[in-house]
A and B are shown apart, each in its own frame.
Chain A
Amino acid sequence: MSPDQFIDWVSLISLALLTLALLLTLARIIIGPTLSDRVLALDLLTLVAMGFIGAIAVRTGLALYLDIAIALALLGFLATIALARYILLRAQSGGDM
């Protein structure tokens, strides 16, 4: 098998596995049951999306996608920090669980 064919097949299989991972993470976001679970699943969702972008970068050979992946990781980190702070503030102000 030539390298091009190999990369073609491997990236296709990886994209299929990542699609399954994306759907499972979506299931956890929908069924909850608490706010923290949903925040955690969203954090994992940005990681899975980063993996998607990496697999597409390998498949198409466009390295520019790597910058998008790094920006997405930064965005996911900041969103998780903001939501953790929101959970803490909501508990301190005596909101419902």
Chain B
Amino acid sequence: MLANLAVYAGGIMLLLGAIFTLIATIGVVRLPDLYTRMHAASKAGAVGGGLILVAVALVEQDSSVSVRALIGIIFLLLTTPLSAHLLARASHLAGYRPDKRTVIDDINKNAEQNSAQK
């Protein structure tokens, strides 16, 4: 009975993960500039992938599978923000400007301060 309940929960997790991944791609297609798209891809994408890994662990109900799913989730949570940050920083330093509606640009301000101090 409990095993069946875990299987149902895993199915719901799988569906939620697929919906989150779809929301991430809709954000990437519809948002106005690179930095807002990055926000959609890194957050919703990581949640979607993580939920699908949880679903695999819940449906299979095997300790070795669960450990590997947990390792995958930890890996995703560590690497997704890191790669988004690296890409945003590289793009900003390479001269890609944010959208006009962006009002705070901390990297630009810091760059001006640094050049003023020199």
Contact = CB atoms under 8 A, between A and B. Distances in A.
Interface of A: 3, 6-7, 10-11, 13-15, 17-18, 20-22, 24-25, 27-28, 34, 36-37, 39-41, 43-44, 47-48, 50-51, 54-55, 57-58, 61, 63, 66-67, 69-70, 73-74, 76-77, 80-81, 83-85, 87-88, 90-91, 97
B19 interface: yes
B41 A63 contact: no
Interface in B65-113: 65, 68-69, 71-72, 75-76, 79-80, 82-84, 86-87, 89-91, 93-96
Contacts of B17: 14, 51, 54
Main DSSP-derived SS at the B contact region: helix
Contacts of A77: 79, 82-83
Tell which of A36, A50, A67 has the most Cβ of chain B within 10 Å. A36
Contact of B60 (A36, A63, A81): A63
A45 to B, nearest CB: 9
Given A21-B24, A25-B28, A14 B90 contact: no
Contacts of B76: 73
8 shortest A-B CB distances, which residue pairs? A91-B94, A54-B52, A14-B18, A10-B11, A80-B83, A36-B91, A17-B18, A24-B25
